[in-house]
Amino acid sequence: MKRNGIFFWVGAAVFLIAIALMTKLITNEYPFFAGYVILQFIVLAVAWSILGGHAGYVNFGTSAFFGMGVYTAVFLFKVAGAPLLVQIAAAAAVGALMGFALGLLTLRMQGIFFSIATIALTIVIETSITNWRYVGGAAGIQLQRPPVTWPFSGYVQMLFFVQAVLVVLAVVVSRYIQNSWIGRGLQALRDDELAAECTGVPTLRLKVLACVVSGALMCAAGAPAAMYLQYADPSSAFNLNYSVSTLAMSLIGGTAHWAGPIVGAILLGTTQQLLTVTISSEVNVLVLGVMLVLFVVAAPEGLIGLLRRIRRHRREGKQ
Amino acid sequence: MKRRTLLGGTIGAAVLGLTFGLTSAALAQQPPIKIGMSMAQTGGLAGGGKASQLGIEIWRDDVNARGGLLGRKVELVVYDDKSSASETPAIYSKLLDVDKVDILFAPYATVPTAPLMPLVKQRGMLLMGNFSFQVNSKVGHDMWFNNAPWGPADSWAASFLELGQKAGGKTIALLAADQEFAQNLALTARDVAKKMNMQIVFDQAYPPNTVEFSSILRALKAAKPDIVYVASYPPDSAGILRAVNEIGIGNNVKIFGGGMVGLQFGAVMENLGSLLNGVVNYNTWLPEPSMQNEGTKAFFETYTKRAIEAKVDPLGYYLAPFGYASGQMIEQAIKAVGSLDQKALAKYLRENEHKTIVGPIAFAADGERKESATLQAQFRGVVDKNMDQFRKPGTQVILFPAKMKSGDLISPFEAARK
């Protein structure tokens, strides 16, 4: 266990150093534009699986949190020209509040009803933003990036690095939750909420906590998108595609382990980016669909589940 | 024997290839001129995006048949932006940094274009716009040129409201979808109404994807407006016209329509048929005699044939000829400048008038048209389920601008509907 911990922290440090070196060594901006999107999906998928994976509450409202992050950043930037870090921190706070409200919802709703309520959440928030003229309303809003901060050479490089830090943060939180009493409690309530409650697991407190953490991370992941696009409009920011992709990434990677969503997000995110610039037609939607179906049939517990099963088979084979 | 035949065949093919190669050596020696763009192939804008792309492809084939540009072939590099703003920054970065394209065309519509403006400004690249609305007003890029006929921001609403005022209208009802384009139109309509001292008696935004309009229209009818300005998207345009047909709109309405998206597309028009009669709506190109320019006829002959294969709008009036015109403008600029220098090309485009199949085009300082060439046209004598009627002049009579006018407004709306 301890050795695992050392590996993890060294891995995280190496990852961040590699990202920092990339921003210094690569002059071509395309890898940063494409990489940013993949990193953003890693944060979203990891955050989603805190609630969706550990607690088993399927959240279709990823786009609500993401869009809220975007618009928190837009609002703060317009009102006070707030710097990027303030935008992200504020978005995380807003996301935590939204998560808290969503957590309270779980008191009344479970299973499919909870999922439907999260879709409603997206629609309600999107409609409100659409009618809020100050942040551009339905017509959208164009933003001008401020000059880039030292030591970065370009704004996209900086956003890329910031998103990488968010990835590490999200993974650290998710890993901590999985390995601590919180994760065990969440797992218990996923299997049988009533039984867990009866055996003394504080289910409501755990669910609210999972919602708050998951919401805060999703909103934080959305905040830099305002500066990445330099434009925000409700239909893009609250696009249901974020919800669907995030869910697919978590499921393809596997939700039983914190590494699952990372694997899923890298795999699906990279495929999406590659398909956009290769096949680039209706076919790319089809390819994604087929991929999803294949995974659901061949690996219902995701890649991580598949890996575990193969390992178990081998071990049994040796015995 | 078989092997020998194979060998002979290979040698024959190689010789043939060599001679063919030599004859086209002049074109092949130099790398092609790459024009890069993203275009909606999927999502809500795909219908328009594909038609627009076909227009650009027809230009590419024509220009290559004429020997290319600067002795080089023209090649298009096109990626799907899924109708979304979040895809385009990465795509254009790929076009610039990996594909190293020489010229950039913008994607169809405002939303996918908006995030590109700061990027192209920063890189000092010329961007040929494609039917977006006022994306450059805040960014102020001096190398942006929009192919759409919109002109100054308020001219769109102004032309329609002026037509209404001339017909004796004093009060306005505004009905607009809660989406980017429609809200922009409604915004300018309010300003113009104020300037023209007209009273807005009804101002309603409705959520996108609304299908049932009877209650909204009853409320609108009760306000008794003289002018009804509608800014809507394809599904709601159809819904609104069906509701108007069902419950009527009142005898005092002089003019109805203005900014209804969808009534430019063949399939929607065929579907609505006689419900269209009397509606005055914006358009960009129509088969009226005043709209025929050099090359227009030939373009539509090719387009009509290729549209069937490409499965796009069979009429293609709205976007396709403007895609072709974008190509024509770039062609003229490159020929005049003699290089691909972005600044020199932009200077040429800004300072000259360009002959295109959609008429002469001149740009103002902000890269939009100097004068609005957005048509306001009235549907007349439309029958149900007939696509070919829209290919004939007289089905959509042009009322504005004066240069292209092909008839006068029939008013009130109820009389024009018959």
3-class DSSP assignment, residue B259: strand
Cβ atoms B191, B137 nearer than 8 A: no
Tens-place pLDDT, residues A141-167? 999 888 887 788 889 999 999 999 999
H/E element, B269: helix B266-272
Chain A residue numbers with beta carbons less than 8 Å from the beta carbon of B140 are none
Question: Across chain A, what does the average pLDDT equal?
Answer: 90
Strand order in the sheet with B127-130: B74-80, B33-39, B103-108, B127-130, B144-146
CB atoms within 10 A of CB B105: 28
Max Cα–Cα distance, chain A, nearest Å: 68
Closest approach of chain B CAs to the CA of A280, in angstroms? Answer: 5
Tokens 């072939």 belong to which residue? B73
**Residue type for position A300:** P
H/E element, B242: helix B234-247
Q: Report whether pLDDT(B278) > 90.
A: yes
Secondary structure (DSSP) of B345-404:
HHHHHHHS-B--TT--B-B-TTSSBSS---EEEEE-S--SS-SGGGGSTTSEEEEESGGG
Residue A244 in domain? no
Q: What is the mean pLDDT of residues B88-114?
A: 93
Give the separation between CA B202 and CA B204, rounded to whole angstroms. 6
Alpha-carbon separation of residue A280 from A274, B61, B87, B131, B378 (angstroms): 9, 21, 12, 22, 39
The per-residue pLDDT for A293 is 87
Q: CB of B87 within 8 Å of any CB in chain A? A: yes
The per-residue pLDDT for B19 is 44
Residue A271 in domain? no
Domain range for residue A167?
2-239
Q: Which of A28, A33, A37 to mutate against chain B (most B CBs within 10 Å)? A: A33
- Angle between helix axes A282-298 and A302-318 (nearest 10 degrees) is 40
Residue A38 in domain? yes
Stretch among B16-20, B71-75, B241-245 having the lowest mean pLDDT: B16-20
3-class DSSP assignment, residue B307: helix
Secondary structure (DSSP) of chain A:
-HHHHHHHHHHHHHHHHHHHHHHHH---SHHHHHHHHHHHHHHHHHHHHIIIIII------HHHHHHHHHHHHHHHHHHH---HHHHHHHHHHHHHHHHHHHHHHTTT--HHHHHHHHHHHHHHHHHHHHT-GGGTGGG-EE--PPPPPTT-SSHHHHHHHHHHHHHHHHHHHHHHHHHSHHHHHHHHHHH-HHHHHHTT--HHHHHHHHHHHHHHHHHHHHHHHHHHHTEE-HHHHT-HHHHHHHHHHHHHH-SSSTHHHHHHHHHHHHHHHHHHHTT-SHHHHHHHHHHHHHHHHH-TTHHHHHHHHHHHHHHHHH-
- Angle between helix axes A84-105 and A62-80 (nearest 10 degrees) is 140
Stretch among A216-220, B4-8, B78-82 having the lowest mean pLDDT: B4-8
Cβ atoms B50, A194 nearer than 8 A: no
Reported as a pLDDT band with limits 50, 70 and 90, residue A274 is confident
Q: Report whether pLDDT(B21) > 50.
A: no
Q: Looking at the partner chain, which of A33, A130, A225 has a beta carbon nearest the beta carbon of B90? A: A33
Give the separation between CA A62 and CA A246, rounded to whole angstroms. 7
Number of separate domains in chain A: 1
Give the separation between CA B91 and CA B41, rounded to whole angstroms. 14
Predicted interface score ipTM higher than 0.85? yes
Residue A260 in domain? no
Q: Report whether pLDDT(A261) > 60.
A: yes
Q: Report whether pLDDT(B4) > 80.
A: no
Give the separation between CA A154 and CA A65, rounded to whole angstroms. 27
Q: What angle do CA B249, B254, B260 make, to 5 degrees?
A: 70
Cβ atoms A118, A60 nearer than 8 A: yes
Q: CB of B108 within 8 Å of any CB in chain A? A: no
The per-residue pLDDT for B3 is 53
The per-residue pLDDT for B138 is 85
Buried b (16+ CB within 10 A) or exposed e, A182-216: bbebbbbbbeebeebeeeebebeebbbbbbbbbbb
Any bridge partners for residue B205, and if so which? B176
Q: Report whether pLDDT(B329) > 60.
A: yes
Give the separation between CA B141 and CA B150, rounded to whole angstroms. 18
Radius of gyration of chain B (CA): 24
Please give the residue of chain A at the shortest CA–CA distance from B113: A231
Q: What percent of chain B has pLDDT over 70?
A: 93
Per-domain residue ranges of chain B: 31-146+294-351, 155-290+373-417
Helix and strand numbers (H, E) in chain B are 15, 12
Q: Report whether pLDDT(B16) > 80.
A: no
Contact A276 B180 (CB under 8 A): no
Chain A residue numbers with beta carbons less than 8 Å from the beta carbon of B117 are 142, 230
| Domain boundaries B31-146+294-351, CATH class | alpha beta
Reported as a pLDDT band with limits 50, 70 and 90, residue A101 is very high
Q: What angle do CA A152, A157, A160 make, to 5 degrees?
A: 125
Cβ atoms A244, B98 nearer than 8 A: no
Q: CB of B111 within 8 Å of any CB in chain A? A: yes
Q: Report whether pLDDT(B362) > 80.
A: yes
Stretch among A114-123, A300-309, B102-111, B338-347 having the lowest mean pLDDT: A300-309
Stretch among B29-33, B143-147, B306-310 having the lowest mean pLDDT: B29-33
What residues contact B66, with CB distance under 8 A and at least 6 apart?
none
Nearest one of A70, A223, A30, A155 to B118, comparing CA atoms: A155
Give the separation between CA B173 and CA B141, rounded to whole angstroms. 36
- For the record, the structure tokens of A281 come out as 């037609």
What residues contact B361, with CB distance under 8 A and at least 6 apart?
B147, B325, B329, B353, B354, B369
Contact A280 B183 (CB under 8 A): no
Pairing, β B255-260 against β B227-232: parallel
Residue A200 in domain? yes
Chain A residue numbers with beta carbons less than 8 Å from the beta carbon of B139 are 142, 144
Nearest one of B116, B135, B366 to A229, comparing CA atoms: B116
Cβ atoms A277, A265 nearer than 8 A: no
Stretch among A54-58, A185-189, A296-300, B193-197 having the lowest mean pLDDT: A296-300
The per-residue pLDDT for B28 is 52
The per-residue pLDDT for B23 is 45
Give the separation between CA A70 and CA A235, rounded to whole angstroms. 12
Tens-place pLDDT, residues B23-37? 444 445 689 999 999
Please give the residue of chain B at the shortest CA–CA distance from A127: B207
Q: CB of B80 within 8 Å of any CB in chain A? A: yes
Closest approach of chain B CAs to the CA of A78, in angstroms? Answer: 14
Tens-place pLDDT, residues A7-47? 999 999 999 999 999 998 988 989 999 999 999 999 999 99
Q: Which numeric CATH code is attached to B155-290+373-417?
A: 3.40.50.2300
Q: What is the mean pLDDT of residues B207-217?
A: 89
Closest approach of chain B CAs to the CA of A28, in angstroms? Answer: 6
Chain A residue numbers with beta carbons less than 8 Å from the beta carbon of B182 are 138
The per-residue pLDDT for B121 is 92
Q: What is the mean pLDDT of residues B250-264?
A: 93
Contact A29 B97 (CB under 8 A): yes
Q: Which of A28, A29, A38, A160 to mutate against chain B (most B CBs within 10 Å)? A: A29
Contact A142 B117 (CB under 8 A): yes
Contact A281 B87 (CB under 8 A): no
Q: What percent of chain B has pLDDT over 90?
A: 78
